[in-house]
Structure 1
Amino acid sequence: MADPTRTQARTAEVRLRWLTLAAFVAPLVVLAAVFGTRFGLWSAGFGLEVLTLKIGRILAFAGLAAALIAVINALKDVRRRGLYAAVSLAVAGATVALFLVQQQRFAVPADNDVTTDPAEAPAFSRAVLAMRGGAGAGGGGASVACPDLVSVPRQVAPETAAAALSAAGFTVRGAAPFRADGAQEGFWFGLTYDAAIRIRPGRTDVRVAQREGVSVGDEACRLAQAVVQGLTPQG
């Protein structure tokens, strides 16, 4: 006849293992979303906005709840169950914290097509427009201004423009008199941003636009400000 105490202990340990595994579901869903997007199984919008920010977020909080239950169960036998509880709480807590940070960042209202000159935004080259699927593709409309994003009040050299793009993380596509172009592809979901620098006597303007049209907060503004900073003399 089976020992009831041993059976209960074994059942509790199995339950604790399942609770620990629940803490890993959200990170695994995010990894699947990333790899699925990178391998072209679905769009960046579906991978980021649906699988990650919606489904993944729900699973992250569910994992945190499971981790808290695991901690309560582990208090009955800390020596044998403490490790499970600690791992589940660490993973679930870190996952929820990352989601909260990203949620705060993505909640910033901003456009995916920004410029230092909304009245006459720098134009992308024909090659870039072709990759973007046509004029305005991915931007959702006309290029708009960003807070604290202003033109550089001087004419810069094409080499300086190319260096500013490179310093901001863009791959330089070309640099010529009065303009420079670059592109940057994100590591996780492959979101691509195109940048155009227009150089005129006494003024240099910048435009940065995302191709996919996926809402990621003020990322386009941040990149444009980084380019402008590289064009601005230091000291």
Structure 2
Amino acid sequence: MAFPRRREVKLARILFVGACATPVLTLAAALATRTGLLTPEVGYDLLARKALFGLAVVGVLAGLGLAVIALRDRGARWLALIGLVVSLATLGGFIWATGQVARTVGEDVSTDLAEIPGFGVLARSRTAQGLPGTVGVQACPGALPATTQALPEAVVYELQTRGVAVRRAGVTGVYGSRRGFWFGFTHDVVIRIRPGRTDIRVAARDGRPHGNEACRLATELSTALRVGERASN
């Protein structure tokens, strides 16, 4: 009877590795993409959004297999519990992220569609072709201009507070960019300052949907600048 028991222990360990492999491989793909070891097409488009999503489903099946073994072997219960929790949480995370991406309204958001702020000093970094068009308040309700001439120092503060690295700041505008933590995707930020009005533009450098990241950042900046506008009145 020792041989079946030994085989079950070995199988439980294999299933545990399968149940917990996806989050580890996802982290590795993200870091490899961020550091340039993998291209975004491989690390994000192929691995993270396709292959690893499928592997997450396999991980849940492995977790269920562990649960079956745990019914007969009490020593495998902790492995089964951890494997099931990790695999279900991982698959849930993938489903949630996929839903966020599917609901993306646009990754180039501007508070002024009649005269869209230009990228200025950031333009040379934006080399991707065929990027989606710019959207405004109809698609991103929080993308509202501040009806005042914001101070460059105040704009720089709001940008830096949100992790935006400022490239250039002046009385007519502030330019910066923010790099995402996981895969390293970059959003460029332009704050155009004019007498009586301050406009915002946030745009991803690539053509991928990022779960409305541009809209969220534009909304945060708009809210902060309009709060400053009310405080100065």
TM over 0.5: yes
Question: Does the 8 A contact of 2:146 with 2:197 survive in 1?
Answer: yes
For residues 218 and 8 of structure 2, the distance between their equivalents in structure 1, rounded to whole angstroms, comes to 54
Q: Provide the residue aligned with 1:32 in structure 2.
A: 28
Q: Provide the residue aligned with 2:188 in structure 1.
A: 194
Letter in 1 for 2:207: G
Determine whether 1:97 maps to 2:97.
Answer: no
For residues 43 and 58 of structure 1, the distance between their equivalents in structure 2, rounded to whole angstroms, comes to 20
Determine whether 1:112 maps to 2:117.
Answer: no
Shift of 1:17: 0.9
Q: Provide the residue aligned with 1:123 in structure 2.
A: 118
What root-mean-square deviation, in Å, do the aligned CA atoms of Structure 1 and Structure 2 show?
1.7
Question: Does the 8 A contact of 1:37 with 1:43 survive in 2?
Answer: yes
For residues 99 and 16 of structure 2, the distance between their equivalents in structure 1, rounded to whole angstroms, comes to 27
Q: Provide the residue aligned with 1:171 in structure 2.
A: 165
- The Cα offsets for residues 29-69 of structure 1, whole Å up to 9 and x where unpaired, read as 21221122123132224312220121111111110111011
For residues 20 and 95 of structure 1, the distance between their equivalents in structure 2, rounded to whole angstroms, comes to 14
Shift of 1:214: 2.2
The alpha-carbon distance between structure 1 residues 205 and 39, as it changes in their structure 2 partners (threshold 3 A), is same
Calculate percent identity across the aligned residue pairs: 35
Secondary structure at 2:72's aligned position in 1? coil
Secondary structure at 1:188's aligned position in 2? coil
Q: Provide the residue aligned with 2:207 in structure 1.
A: 213
Shift of 1:210: 1.0
The alpha-carbon distance between structure 1 residues 114 and 44, as it changes in their structure 2 partners (threshold 3 A), is same
The alpha-carbon distance between structure 1 residues 61 and 9, as it changes in their structure 2 partners (threshold 3 A), is same
Q: Provide the residue aligned with 1:184 in structure 2.
A: 178
For residues 148 and 41 of structure 2, the distance between their equivalents in structure 1, rounded to whole angstroms, comes to 38
For residues 232 and 166 of structure 1, the distance between their equivalents in structure 2, rounded to whole angstroms, comes to 17
Aligned residues: 226
Letter in 2 for 1:37: T
Secondary structure at 1:196's aligned position in 2? strand
Gaps of 5+ in 1: none
Deviates more, 1:107-116 or 1:203-212: 107-116
Match 1:51 to one of 39, 47, 50: 47
For residues 114 and 190 of structure 1, the distance between their equivalents in structure 2, rounded to whole angstroms, comes to 20
TM-score by length of 2: 0.90
Gaps of 5+ in 2: none
Letter in 1 for 2:217: L
Q: Provide the residue aligned with 2:147 in structure 1.
A: 153
The alpha-carbon distance between structure 1 residues 118 and 36, as it changes in their structure 2 partners (threshold 3 A), is same
Question: Does the 8 A contact of 1:20 with 1:66 survive in 2?
Answer: yes
Secondary structure at 2:210's aligned position in 1? coil
